């Protein structure tokens, strides 16, 4: 146990030193392994998605077997047992809607059936929390229903979720809140135990704490849909800006309330479709960035770093990110040119990732080692780099390639 | 963020204590305790809906 505590302390120091853009004893390894953990531990995607205890076991097995400094306590984060209890309609669940061997999927409705209608911006802006309970939830849940006078009906049946006709509907409605609330509490409370077990069993650090999404991405992902939001950018840009501004204090509050009280571990920030070419540079500059940058600055004023998980390629916006206070973020690279990102951001921020997922899935161990060398040589010379793949690793990732990435980094990544 | 319009419900709040207080008889005991417990439990409702939106 004492050895494990010593190992944990070493790893924490290594991880935090790199995240502060300084030089640790060696390059920390922090792979975001999702459904890969199922493959490695002998589970199906259905098992780790629908039974979070199996996901926890799989994450701990990987942490114990590989020499990793930090992992996400459960990167298969969406527990579909919980989403079913609430009745959420926007998931394809492994083993029910899709093959048991495929990771869960998000389903975005067509533009005309978006979860928020184009003329509902004012309702959202005036009272985001009320809008979510009264309008959004009845539409995204198969069980939460709407009664007469409900704001989600708004006089039009077609807008509604499921109307509350009859005892059976009310029964399901009430149970959705009861089961959903208790399941969420049970799930969140289980993370404390999981993080403690990671520490005790393998000396592994929990990689992130808390969640942040950009106001613009929330509008696209869960409210208007990507296509609906694109239409709004041209037809009602002022409403989009006001809605983003209305969401800002809430997203900041949620991020801070889940943050690491010790201020070591960063808040995970999941970046989706706010970059060129999903939107124009003008829309990024006028809408996305002005409603995100103050959130990051506010979080940093409380002493918390934010991990920019830049899914896809956000290199068109590096100069904007460089405006942020030094050390306030850790910048993760997916498909973008990591060397260009390091050139622009490397003086101020730690960089992570950049090892292509296609290489980890379809390449050879030697190709993985060669690529890791290229990245380490290019960006890790002065510290401030964390080894990881570009995107979360699913069950197509080869075990031998993960081993190659890990072993090479341990051999070559010593300062 | 300071420039933003005032919203009906603040972050972390579903039913503000000021609103709930109007429904209650005069509190003879520890009013601060009642307020604190109300706000602590109320914030769980807030966590529920915003985590549904953000995490699930």
pLDDT tens per residue across span B7-33: 789 999 999 999 999 999 999 999 999
Identify the closest residue of chain A to B51 by CA–CA distance: A254
> For the residues A230-246, what does the mean pLDDT come to?
98
Q: Which helix (H) or strand (E) holds A282?
A: helix A281-283
> For the residues A368-394, what does the mean pLDDT come to?
98
> What is the total count of domains within chain B?
1
Confidence of residue B3 (pLDDT cuts 50, 70, 90): low
- Asked if residue B46 belongs to a domain, the reply is yes
Query: For position A47, what pLDDT does the model report?
Result: 98
A361 has a pLDDT exceeding 80 = yes
Identify the closest residue of chain B to A177 by CA–CA distance: B48
> For the residues A20-39, what does the mean pLDDT come to?
98
Taking the CA of residue B56 and the nearest CA in chain A, the distance in Å comes to: 6
Taking the CA of residue B34 and the nearest CA in chain A, the distance in Å comes to: 22
Q: What share of chain A is helix, strand, coil (3-state, %, to 5)?
A: 55, 10, 35
Q: Which residues of A touch B40 (CB under 8 A)?
A: none
Question: Can you say how many angstroms the Cα of residue A248 is from the centroid of all Cα atoms in its chain?
Answer: 18
Query: For position A145, what pLDDT does the model report?
Result: 87
* Nearest beta carbon to residue B54 from set A125, A213, A249: A213
Query: For position A183, what pLDDT does the model report?
Result: 97
Domain ranges, residue B34: 28-56
Query: For position A153, what pLDDT does the model report?
Result: 55
Between CA B45 and CA A51 the distance in angstroms is: 24
Confidence of residue A151 (pLDDT cuts 50, 70, 90): low
Query: For position A158, what pLDDT does the model report?
Result: 43
Between CA A165 and CA A179 the distance in angstroms is: 21
Confidence of residue A91 (pLDDT cuts 50, 70, 90): very high
- Are B4 and A246 in contact (CB < 8 Å)? yes
* Nearest beta carbon to residue B52 from set A86, A248, A298: A86
Between CA A411 and CA A382 the distance in angstroms is: 17
CA atoms within 13 A on the CB side of A180: 25
* Nearest beta carbon to residue A211 from set B5, B14, B54: B54
Query: For position B8, what pLDDT does the model report?
Result: 82
A149 or A66: which leads in pLDDT: A66
- Asked if residue B14 belongs to a domain, the reply is no
Taking the CA of residue A86 and the nearest CA in chain B, the distance in Å comes to: 9
Q: Which residues of A touch B13 (CB under 8 A)?
A: 129
Query: For position A317, what pLDDT does the model report?
Result: 98
| pLDDT (tens digit per residue) in A326-340 | 999 999 999 999 999
> For the residues A302-308, what does the mean pLDDT come to?
98
> For the residues A192-206, what does the mean pLDDT come to?
98
Q: Identify the burial level of A83 via C-beta atoms within 10 angstroms of its C-beta, where 0-12 means exposed, 13-18 middle and 19 or more buried.
A: buried
| pLDDT (tens digit per residue) in A60-73 | 999 999 989 999 99
Interface test with A, best of B8, B15, B19, B50 (most A CBs within 10 A): B50
Between CA A198 and CA B25 the distance in angstroms is: 49
Q: Is A191 on the interface with B (CB under 8 A)?
A: no
Under a CB-based contact definition with an 8 Å cutoff, are residues A14 and A25 in contact?
Answer: yes
Confidence of residue A175 (pLDDT cuts 50, 70, 90): very high
What are the beta bridge partners of residue A196? Answer: none
Query: For position A37, what pLDDT does the model report?
Result: 98
Bridge-based pairing of strands A105-106 and A91-92 is antiparallel
Interface test with B, best of A83, A178, A180, A254 (most B CBs within 10 A): A254
- Are A246 and B54 in contact (CB < 8 Å)? no
Pick from A197, A10, A211, A63: nearest CA to B53: A211
Under a CB-based contact definition with an 8 Å cutoff, are residues A300 and A325 in contact?
Answer: yes
Per cent of chain A over pLDDT 90 is 93
- The 10 Å Cβ neighbour count of residue A116 is 23
A266 has a pLDDT exceeding 90 = yes
Q: Which residues of B touch A129 (CB under 8 A)?
A: 9, 13-14, 46, 49-50
A359 has a pLDDT exceeding 70 = yes
A371 has a pLDDT exceeding 50 = yes
What are residue A259's phi and psi, to 5 degrees?
-75, 160
* Nearest beta carbon to residue A245 from set B4, B14, B52: B4
Q: Which positions in chain B have a beta carbon within 8 angstroms of at least one beta carbon in chain A?
A: 1, 4-5, 7-14, 44, 46-56
- The 10 Å Cβ neighbour count of residue B15 is 15
Residues 6 or more apart in contact with residue B36 via CB below 8 angstroms: none
Count interface pairs A-B at CB distance under 8 A. 79
| pLDDT (tens digit per residue) in A341-356 | 999 999 999 999 999 9
- Residue A338 tokens read as 């990591």
A160 has a pLDDT exceeding 60 = no
* Nearest beta carbon to residue A132 from set B1, B5, B49: B49
Q: Which residues of A touch B46 (CB under 8 A)?
A: 129
Pick from A175, A88, A7: nearest CA to B53: A88
A324 has a pLDDT exceeding 60 = yes
- Are A126 and B1 in contact (CB < 8 Å)? no
3-state secondary structure (DSSP) of residue A405 = helix
A157 has a pLDDT exceeding 50 = no
The pTM of the full predicted model, rounded to 2 decimals, is 0.95
Residues 6 or more apart in contact with residue A239 via CB below 8 angstroms: A121, A122, A125, A232
Pick from A139, A151, A145, A203: nearest CA to A9: A203
3-state secondary structure (DSSP) of residue A39 = helix
Domain boundaries, chain A: 2-32+207-412, 109-165
A161 has a pLDDT exceeding 80 = no
> For the residues A16-43, what does the mean pLDDT come to?
98
Q: Is A292 on the interface with B (CB under 8 A)?
A: no
- Give the orientation angle of helix A167-202 with respect to helix B31-54, to 10 degrees: 90
Q: Which fold has domain A2-32+207-412?
A: TIM Barrel (3.20.20)
Q: Which residues of B touch A249 (CB under 8 A)?
A: 1, 4, 7, 10-11
Confidence of residue A152 (pLDDT cuts 50, 70, 90): low
* Nearest beta carbon to residue A211 from set B10, B14, B55: B55
A413 has a pLDDT exceeding 80 = yes
- Residue A366 tokens read as 């030697």
- Write down the ipTM of this complex: 0.95
């Amino acid at each position: 146990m004492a050895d494990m505590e010593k190992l944990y302390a070493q790893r924490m120091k290594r991880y935090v030193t790199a995240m502060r853009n300084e030089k640790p004893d060696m390059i920390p390894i922090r792979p975001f392994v999702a459904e890969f953990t199922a493959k490695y531990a002998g589970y199906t995607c259905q098992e780790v998605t629908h039974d979070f205890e199996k996901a926890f076991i799989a994450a701990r097995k990987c942490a114990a077997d590989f020499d990793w400094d930090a992992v996400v306590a459960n990167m298969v984060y969406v527990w579909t047992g919980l989403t079913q209890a609430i009745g959420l309609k926007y998931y394809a669940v492994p083993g029910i809607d899709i093959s048991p061997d495929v990771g869960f999927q998000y389903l975005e409705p067509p533009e005309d059936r978006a979860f928020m209608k184009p003329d509902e911006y004012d309702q959202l802006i005036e009272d985001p929390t009320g809008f979510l309970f009264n309008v959004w939830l009845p539409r995204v849940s198969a069980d939460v229903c709407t009664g007469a006078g409900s704001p989600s009906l708004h006089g039009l049946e077609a807008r509604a979720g499921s109307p509350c006709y009859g005892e059976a509907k009310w029964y399901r409605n009430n149970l959705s809140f009861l089961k959903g609330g208790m399941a969420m509490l049970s799930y969140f409370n289980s993370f404390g135990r999981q993080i403690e077990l990671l520490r005790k069993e393998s000396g592994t650090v929990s990689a992130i704490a808390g969640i942040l999404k950009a106001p613009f991405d929330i509008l696209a992902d869960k409210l208007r849909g990507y296509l609906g939001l694109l239409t709004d950018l041209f037809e009602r840009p002022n409403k989009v800006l006001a809605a983003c501004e209305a969401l800002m204090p809430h997203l900041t509050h949620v991020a801070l309330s889940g943050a690491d009280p010790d201020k070591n571990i960063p808040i995970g920030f999941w970046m989706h479709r706010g970059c060129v070419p999903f939107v124009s540079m003008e829309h990024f500059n006028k809408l996305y960035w002005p409603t995100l940058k103050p959130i990051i600055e506010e979080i940093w004023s409380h002493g918390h770093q934010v991990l920019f998980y830049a899914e896809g390629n956000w290199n068109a916006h590096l100069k904007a990110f460089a405006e942020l206070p030094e050390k306030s973020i850790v910048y993760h690279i997916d498909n973008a040119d990591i060397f260009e990102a390091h050139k622009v951001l490397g003086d101020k921020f730690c960089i992570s990732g950049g090892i292509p997922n296609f290489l980890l899935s379809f390449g050879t161990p030697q190709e993985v080692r060669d690529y890791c060398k290229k990245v380490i040589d290019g960006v890790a010379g002065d510290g401030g780099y964390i080894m990881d793949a570009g995107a979360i690793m699913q069950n197509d990732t080869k075990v031998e390639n993960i081993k190659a990435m890990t072993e090479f980094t341990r051999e070559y990544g010593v300062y | 963020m300071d420039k933003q319009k005032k919203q009906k419900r603040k972050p972390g709040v579903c039913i503000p204590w000021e609103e709930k207080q109007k429904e209650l008889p005069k509190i003879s005991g520890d009013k601060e305790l009642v307020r604190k417990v109300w706000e602590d439990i109320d914030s769980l409702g807030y966590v529920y809906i915003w985590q549904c939106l953000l995490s699930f």
